[in-house]
Structure formats: structure tokens, C-alpha cells
Homo-oligomer: A and B are copies of this chain.
Amino acid sequence: MTAPQQERSKATRLRLLEAAVDCLAEKGWSGTTVAIVARAAGVSRGAAQHHFPTREDLIAGALEFATETQLIENRARAATLPEHGLTRVEAVVNMLVDIYVGPYFRAALQVWVAASADPSLHARVQPLEARLGRAIHHVAVELLRADERKPGVRETIQGTLDMARGFGLATVLGDDSARRRPIVRQWARVLAGVLGEQ
């Protein structure tokens, strides 16, 4: 055959990861069983067991996959940002917020919260979260063209990211977009002030 099974294997593995991420975002931690994920991916449970020996392997793999996908999407979107001024700041904040209210974050949230009580999972997840956090911070600084040497700038950006995280958390309880909009707008104004003062 022209298609080596190596490719096919990678494909099913990827389908499993995608299905796991979707399942986590939709059905939550307890609702994400290997059987359900396997069925959603269109493979048997044995196949899933082969690629990911344990459930924890599957979940951790899904989180890693979601993390990297998130970063890639960010880079793509960063190129489409508007010019300068306040509208750019607001656009950046909106983009950061969108990261934390999207499906990838919802999936990650389930894993993080579950990992807080699961030492073994925590050990695998914590470095991923740290890496993602640093990466997003770096992106934020770059897109805002911020000078972190100015006092307060770094802290305010960190606070902005934490606010976005808070939005993400609020979103799991229900659609929050209407409440978010004016807050983001006001926050962008304040942030622009901090960035440009003096």
C-alpha cells in the first residue's frame, strides 16, 4: 500500500487527542472516559489503550495537544491585529480574553482542577501550565509593545492575564460575553494609561 501504517497510526492517535479535548470541554472530567473518547474518535477501546496505556496518559496527552494548538492559533491571530493606539490595546486584551474563554481552555480547566487533587497528574500538568502561562505573557508583552522596565507595567499585564483567567472561569457557569464587553473596554483604557504614562 502507498500509506504506511506509521501515518495511519499517527492519524488515529491525533483523532484520539482531538476527541479527548472535545470530550473534556463538553462532558467534563468525569464524563471523559476512554470508551467514550474512543467511540468519538471512531476507534475501538483496545486501540486507544494501545496508544495511551492509561487514562492519565490520554488526558495528559490531550492537554499537551490543546496547549500547543492554542499557542499556534495565537501566533496566527497575532498577525491580524490592528495598527496602533487604544484600539490595538483593546484588540490585544480581547484576544487574550478569547484564549481563556475558548474550548481549549475549557478542556484545560477540567484537567487543572482535577489535577489539584491528583498528585500524579499534577506532576505532569503543572509544567505544561507554567509553559503556557509564560508563553502567553510573552505574547502579551510583545503585542502590547510594552516596556517591562517601567514600574508597574509587568504587574499590570500579569493582572490582565489573571482577569482573563477569571473570565474563563466565569464562562463555565454560563455565557458571560455581555458582561465582559464593557469591562474589557474599560480595562483596555486603564492598561493603555499604565503602558504610556510618563
> A-side interface residues toward B, CB under 8 Å?
26-31, 106, 109-110, 112-118, 122, 125-126, 129, 152, 155-156, 158-159, 161-170, 172-174, 179, 182-183, 185-187, 189-190, 194
Contact flag A115-B165 (CB < 8 Å), given A30-B30, A183-B155: no
Let me know if B163 and A129 touch, CB within 8 A: no
- A109 contact set on B, CB distance < 8 A: 113, 169
Could you tell me the distance between the alpha carbons of A116 and B169 in the complex, rounded to whole angstroms?
A: 10
How near does chain B come to A132, taking the closest CB pair, in angstroms? Answer: 11
- A29 contact set on B, CB distance < 8 A: 29-30, 113-114, 117
Closest to A109 in B: B113
Let me know if B182 and A155 touch, CB within 8 A: yes
Contact flag A186-B155 (CB < 8 Å), given A167-B162, A172-B112: yes
Let me know if A31 and B117 touch, CB within 8 A: yes
Let me know if A126 and B173 touch, CB within 8 A: yes
Could you tell me the distance between the alpha carbons of A134 and B29 in the complex, rounded to whole angstroms?
A: 28
Could you tell me the distance between the alpha carbons of A189 and B197 in the complex, rounded to whole angstroms?
A: 14
Let me know if A189 and B28 touch, CB within 8 A: no
Could you tell me the distance between the alpha carbons of A118 and B189 in the complex, rounded to whole angstroms?
A: 38
18 contacts between A and B (CB under 8 A): A28-B118, A29-B29, A29-B114, A29-B117, A30-B114, A31-B117, A109-B113, A112-B173, A113-B113, A116-B172, A125-B173, A155-B185, A155-B186, A158-B179, A161-B166, A163-B166, A165-B170, A166-B168
